């Protein structure tokens, strides 16, 4: 199991220049053969998660006598330079799950190469000594939901195991297609209070993904996850998540959990293929993808 380097990676992966593709296009047209059209690139970024949607996730649990987890148990504070994601803010005997995500809905999302990422930091180190804050997980992912055709979620995600009582404390898990969607070991990141950087790439056409944390490629598999009750739209989402620590079956109190997120970015590269003069439509992708 590979250990991740605990350092901050400040640079984001950038797309290859399209200049070479433009030269190739001009040459192809002059020769009367088919060539791919120039790519359409959309890039977005932010220092915090302002404008994102926040919901309660499915990683929840309520101890005996505790009311179910609701939106009152989670909170997101956008502070300009970063965002604070907090769970079990009422210190109840529950395990609460916060998901903050940015969604883009368009049929082209399944024909787009997505590259995204953000930085994350634990403001404390989880410990068996207890205290007002402890953790279950920190998570993040990039997915494309194909509700119009396959009705599965395509993409990749990581989970940082932060429950200090678990034997795999500090392990990084990666999302897989196994058993309808499940986690598998992918690496190790020592729990600390440093900033860490994660980047994702999802290519639904070639069915390829890339998941990198602090410069280490985790070799995550391309995952397809069936979902029931989801819509018929085609949409992509970049998401950051946190789950508070499992409280136990009879708990009446449990600690809060907090993770900080900053400097997110998301570039989407869609290539439309058009026929050149005297030619037919070509399906070849631009080089470098």
Quote the pTM value: 0.84
Residue 221 predicted with pLDDT over 90: yes
Q: Domains of the chain, with CATH numbers?
A: 41-270 (2.60.120)
Dihedral of the CA atoms 109, 45, 124, 6 (nearest 10)? 80
User: How far apart are the C-alpha atoms of 73 and 87, rounded to whole Å?
Assistant: 6
Residue 93 predicted with pLDDT over 70: yes
| Token digits of residue 159 | 């989970």
pLDDT tens for each residue of 180-202: 999 999 999 999 999 999 999 99
* pLDDT of 38: 60
Confidence of residue 39 (pLDDT cuts 50, 70, 90): confident
Nearest Cα to Cα of residue 236 among 266, 263, 262, 260: 266
% of the chain exceeding 70 in pLDDT: 80
User: How far apart are the C-alpha atoms of 219 and 244, rounded to whole Å?
Assistant: 27
Dihedral of the CA atoms 85, 163, 197, 208 (nearest 10)? -100
Low-confidence winner among 31-40, 51-60, 129-138, 199-208 (lowest mean pLDDT)? 31-40
Mean pLDDT computed over 92-99 = 98
């Amino acid at each position: 199991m590979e250990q991740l380097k605990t350092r901050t990676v400040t640079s984001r992966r950038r797309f290859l220049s399209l200049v070479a593709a433009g030269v190739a296009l001009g040459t192809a047209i002059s020769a009367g053969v088919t060539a791919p059209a120039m790519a359409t690139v959309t890039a977005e970024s932010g220092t915090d998660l302002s404008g994102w949607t926040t919901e309660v996730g499915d990683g929840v649990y309520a101890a005996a006598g505790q009311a179910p987890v609701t939106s009152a148990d989670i909170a997101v504070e956008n502070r300009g330079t970063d965002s604070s994601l907090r769970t079990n803010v009422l210190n109840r005997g529950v395990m609460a799950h916060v998901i903050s995500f940015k969604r883009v809905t368009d049929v082209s999302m399944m024909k787009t190469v997505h590259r995204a990422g953000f930085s994350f930091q634990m403001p404390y180190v989880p410990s068996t000594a207890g205290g007002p804050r402890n953790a279950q997980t920190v998570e993040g992912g990039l997915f494309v939901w194909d509700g119009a055709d396959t009705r599965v979620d395509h993409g990749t995600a990581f989970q940082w195991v932060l429950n200090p009582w678990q034997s795999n404390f500090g392990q990084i898990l990666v999302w897989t297609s196994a058993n309808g969607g499940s986690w598998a070991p992918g690496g190790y990141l020592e729990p600390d209070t440093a900033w860490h950087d994660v980047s994702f790439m999802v290519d639904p056409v070639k069915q390829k993904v890339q998941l990198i944390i602090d410069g280490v490629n985790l070799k995550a598999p391309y995952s397809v996850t069936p979902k029931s009750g989801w819509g018929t739209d085609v949409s992509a989402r970049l998401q950051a998540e946190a789950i508070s620590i499992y409280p136990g079956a009879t708990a009446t109190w449990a600690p809060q959990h907090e993770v900080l997120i900053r400097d997110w970015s998301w570039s989407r590269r869609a290539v439309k293929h058009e026929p050149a003069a005297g030619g037919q439509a070509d399906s070849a992708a631009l080089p470098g993808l």
